[in-house]
Amino acid sequence: MQQFDVIIIGAGAAGLMCAGEVCKRGRRVLMIDHAKKIGQKIRISGGGRANFTNLHASPANFLSNNPYFCISALKRYTQFDFIDLVEKYKIDYHERSHGQLFCKGSAQQITQMLLSEARGAKIQTETSVKNITKVNNIFYIETNKEKLSTSSLVVATGGPSIPKMGATGFGYDIAKQFGLNVIPPRAALVPLTLSTNNLEKLDGLAGVSLLAIVNHGKVNFREGLVFTHKGLSGPAILQISSYWREGDNILINLLPEIDVFSLLKLEKNKGSKKEIRKIISTLLPNRLAQRIVYLAGCDGNLAETPDKELKNLGNTINEWILEPSGTEGMRTAEVTIGGVDTKNLSSRTMEANNVTGLYFIGEAVDVTGHLGGFNFQWAWSSGYACGQVA
């Protein structure tokens, strides 16, 4: 039986970060992962360029049943600390919209950087855990290859989003085995689907994109929206999906910069006889403009159209109320909401309150970031916090 000071299950972003910090303390570390390659979500993120953090990362960018849990870790290891690490390794990067930072080269640079930081760790891929027991503060782990033991077990297995990459809810099983509560996970940062009836109304709009404001309750995002064959996607929709629950409506403003009714009313008062369809086509993508005007039943010329109909058209564009039928699910979700209940964990160390030596980090925990590098920052911050003590 091989003995290690720390065993980390999961060689993704959080696990790699944690391994690097543990290695700096001279601890014997083993990382195991059931996949053939490590850091799979890093590899595909940002279109292969790794949106590795966000300049504006703060606790306000994270969802959790306990919104205060993430504060300690995020303060102890900030986005600027990770940027310093990236610059130390001379990795070129650039900022895109909303403070998102991407590698100019391959996302693999981030993985290699983390591996360099964890160069003292042993890594086993294609290794699955068969059984875990704990006796006298020692964890005994049986894998498909061998038997292991450790006094510190770190669970960095992520969540079940994107199962085609091998993602599972295995970390939740470990939590439940040791008496920790798990908040049922659901898909987040995921496209929304529409009912057959709504899809028929929007038939032919797949691929149309525009800037929009999407609201759910008091939360709103002003980003891109894309019509799909199944419903709606784009950054604004992915963001709002983390807040949306079945049966809820969302409110969409397709022209955030223009009060459509006021514009049409002003033109009408000037005596304009322009066709409404042509006016709206100058403001929205043509296919969408034609469909919106048709659905609003406002297809005449401006001078002959009652204000009531113009108001209805304006509301259809600026205050489109829509009830999604669901989401595309874990298959396309970038992350999950839910996971190991933070009430069971120390916000300073990520250690289970009632199980000495057991830690949970990264996406396995009930902390979920907005789109734009925030979930990676949680991986770095939680991995760092755990790595100081495990």
- Average pLDDT value for the chain: 95
Give residue for tokens 């809810």: 169
**How confident is residue 243, by pLDDT bands cut at 50, 70 and 90?**
very high
Q: Is the pLDDT of residue 309 over 90?
A: yes
Q: What angle do CA 128, 347, 187 make, to 5 degrees?
A: 55
Give residue for tokens 């014997």: 28
- pLDDT tens profile 323-362: 999 999 999 999 999 999 999 999 999 999 999 999 999 9
Shared-domain flag, residues 122 and 6:
yes
Shared-domain flag, residues 93 and 205:
no
Please tell me the predicted confidence (pLDDT) of residue 364: 97
Please tell me the predicted confidence (pLDDT) of residue 81: 98
CATH number at residue 36: 3.50.50.60
Given 280, 303, 327, the domain boundary residue is: 327
Rounded to the nearest 10°, the torsion over CA 169, 172, 177, 178 is 150
Q: Is the pLDDT of residue 55 over 90?
A: yes
If one counts every other C-beta atom within 10 angstroms of the C-beta of residue 116, the result is: 11
CATH number at residue 263: 2.40.30.10
Shared-domain flag, residues 245 and 363:
no
Q: Please provide the size of the chain in residues.
A: 390
Please tell me the predicted confidence (pLDDT) of residue 271: 84
Please tell me the predicted confidence (pLDDT) of residue 268: 86
Shared-domain flag, residues 172 and 206:
no
Please tell me the predicted confidence (pLDDT) of residue 197: 94
Q: How far apart are CA 274 and CA 292, in angstroms?
A: 17
Shared-domain flag, residues 35 and 177:
yes
If one compares 210 and 300, the residue with the highest pLDDT of the two is: 210
The share of the chain scoring above pLDDT 90, in percent, equals 90
Q: Is the pLDDT of residue 117 over 80?
A: yes
Strands 100-103 vs 122-124: parallel, antiparallel or unpaired = unpaired
Q: Are 359 and 349 in contact (CB under 8 A)?
A: yes
- pLDDT tens profile 192-206: 999 999 999 999 999
Shared-domain flag, residues 200 and 236:
yes
Q: Is the pLDDT of residue 93 over 90?
A: yes
Q: How many domains does the chain have?
A: 2
Q: What is the DSSP string of 321-333?
A: EE---EE--TTT-
Q: Are 223 and 369 in contact (CB under 8 A)?
A: no
Shared-domain flag, residues 65 and 25:
yes
Token duo for residue 340: 């190991």
Shared-domain flag, residues 72 and 133:
yes
Shared-domain flag, residues 85 and 197:
no
Please tell me the predicted confidence (pLDDT) of residue 341: 98
Q: Are 71 and 382 in contact (CB under 8 A)?
A: no
Q: Please report the sign of the dihedral spanned by the C-alpha atoms of residue 39, residue 44, residue 46, residue 47.
A: positive
Given 282, 306, 327, the domain boundary residue is: 327
Please tell me the predicted confidence (pLDDT) of residue 273: 84
- pLDDT tens profile 256-268: 999 999 999 998 8
Q: Are 345 and 353 in contact (CB under 8 A)?
A: yes
Q: How far apart are CA 174 and CA 178, in angstroms?
A: 7
Given 282, 310, 327, the domain boundary residue is: 327
pTM: predicted TM-score of the whole model, two decimal places: 0.95
Shared-domain flag, residues 71 and 205:
no
Shared-domain flag, residues 218 and 272:
yes
Shared-domain flag, residues 146 and 35:
yes
Q: Which residues contact 177 (CB under 8 A, 6 or more apart)?
A: 132
Domain span including residue 24: 2-186+336-387
**How confident is residue 138, by pLDDT bands cut at 50, 70 and 90?**
very high
